[in-house]
Amino acid sequence: MDIQYLHFLQDMRESLDGVLNGFFLQISDWLSGIFVWMLACVMFWSADKKVGSFLFLNVGFSRSLMQTLKLTFCVYRPWIRSAQIMPIEKATGYSFPSGHTITATANYGTLIERYRQHRPLCVFLVLMALLTMFSRNYIGVHTPQDVVVGLLMGIMVVVYGARVWAWLEVPPDKDYLLPCIGGLLLLLWEKCAMPAMTTRRPSPHL
């Protein structure tokens, strides 16, 4: 069923002659990689220190959770499961759950949690989270269950991060604590988990 859905999207891409490929690639990568840290730094030092702290913490939590689940389930990418799947660009590592979806949901969700009184902004952020989910299916690198679980895990990260903040009740003179925790989590998992993803089973890379 999931592979059939990706075949449907692949046929859609071909019928549109790739006109939307660039758009969905940009949506997919908008809140991943270095941009996430740039956003967190700008928010922390220039705009809203609490939001910046949340972003640092949630990025660390989301990446750690994503790597743990990928290494636990070791699900191969769609084009390995079906040679007929031809993604726009190939991703590395295991497929389940979608790391892009977890990260995007955690970050957009953090902004929604902080600015929930601004309804138009929240609607836009929800739309961006959903577009990120769909983009991972559209470009052919994740199945529907990958992105649905990624969405749920991202929401869990936001809820958990808010409770951690409330539990710590971080005073102003210790507001660097959460960014440090988030950065440490990310560093540890990038150094320890990424090599394991290529050695635990036969490589899922092509």
**Which of 30-39, 55-64, 91-100 bottoms out in mean pLDDT, i.e. has the lowest?**
30-39
pLDDT on residue 97: 92
**Which of 4-13, 94-103, 187-196 bottoms out in mean pLDDT, i.e. has the lowest?**
187-196
203 domain-assigned: no
The rounded distance, in Å, linking the Cα atoms of 98 and 29 is: 12
Outline where 115-143 has alpha helix (H): 119-138
Q: Residue 189 belongs to what domain range?
A: 27-197
57 domain-assigned: yes
How remote is the C-alpha of 36 from its chain's centroid? 10
pLDDT on residue 191: 57
132 domain-assigned: yes
Give 196's pLDDT tier (boundaries 50, 70, 90): very low
The rounded distance, in Å, linking the Cα atoms of 170 and 175 is: 6
The rounded distance, in Å, linking the Cα atoms of 182 and 198 is: 24
- Can you read off the two tokens belonging to residue 28? 């997919």
pLDDT at 39 over 80: no
Give 168's pLDDT tier (boundaries 50, 70, 90): low
Integer Rg of the chain from CA: 18
Number of domain units in the chain: 1
Note the pTM of the prediction, 2 decimals. 0.79
The rounded distance, in Å, linking the Cα atoms of 78 and 142 is: 6
Give 176's pLDDT tier (boundaries 50, 70, 90): low
Of these ranges, 3-12, 48-57, 106-115, the one predicted with the greatest mean pLDDT is 3-12
13 domain-assigned: no
Q: Enumerate residues 6+ apart whose C-beta is below 8 A from 45.
A: 52
Q: Enumerate residues 6+ apart whose C-beta is below 8 A from 104.
A: 30, 31, 32, 128, 129, 132, 133, 154
pLDDT on residue 65: 83
133 domain-assigned: yes
- Can you read off the two tokens belonging to residue 111? 């902004």
60 domain-assigned: yes
56 domain-assigned: yes
48 domain-assigned: yes
pLDDT on residue 199: 43
How remote is the C-alpha of 175 from its chain's centroid? 25
How many CB atoms within 10 Å of residue 85?
18
